[in-house]
Amino acid sequence: MQETRFDTPEATEAAFYQAIAGIDLDLMTRVWSDGGHALCIHPGSGLLRGKPAVIQSWRDIFSNSNPPVIEYRYIDGYGTGDIRVRLVEERIRPRNTPPDAANRVLATNIFLREGRSWRMAVHHASLPLVDRTEEPAPEHRLH
């Protein structure tokens, strides 16, 4: 497999979502950290530790999927030195469905610089079931 260099955390994140959109396991494998600390929590799921378990989970997901439509929006983040944290809102839906059919997912993505490339080290995704990100004040929640 060819070594891929991602110059910025943003480039790594874009490749991560491109891999999902293209159900591209090779690209997904190149996105993730080789440093032994890959951690992934799919929505509603438990913790996957280590790159082999993480990549196997994506293999399972991709083998049962058609390429979806996925969009993501950066919300907020932090960065210092060789680590970046990015909170994003994802919207994912099957192709040929309208935008309002999309599932919203909130994800905390964490990137580490490994040598000259940034890699994904953590992807923690969850489904917001009871309120909407656009309404941050608790008194506006639906419940």
Cβ contacts of residue 71 below 8 Å, gap of 6+? 90, 91, 92, 102
Tell me whether residue 28 or residue 48 sits nearer to a copy of itself (CB atom): 48
| Of 60, 49, 61, 39, nearest in space to 125 by CA | 39
With CB under 8 A as the rule, give the number of residues binding a copy of itself: 48
Q: Are 124 and 107 in contact (CB under 8 A)?
A: yes
Tell me whether residue 41 or residue 69 sits nearer to a copy of itself (CB atom): 41
Smallest distance from the beta carbon of 73 to a copy of itself, in angstroms? Answer: 11
**Could you give the 3-state DSSP secondary structure of residue 87?**
strand
* Phi, psi at 21, each rounded to 5°: -60, -35
For the segment 61-90, give every residue that binds a copy of itself (CB under 8 A): 75-76, 78-83, 85, 87, 89
Residues of this chain that interact with a copy of itself (CB under 8 A) are 37, 39, 41, 43-50, 53, 56-57, 60, 75-76, 78-83, 85, 87, 89, 106, 108, 110, 112, 121-122, 124-133, 135-139, 141
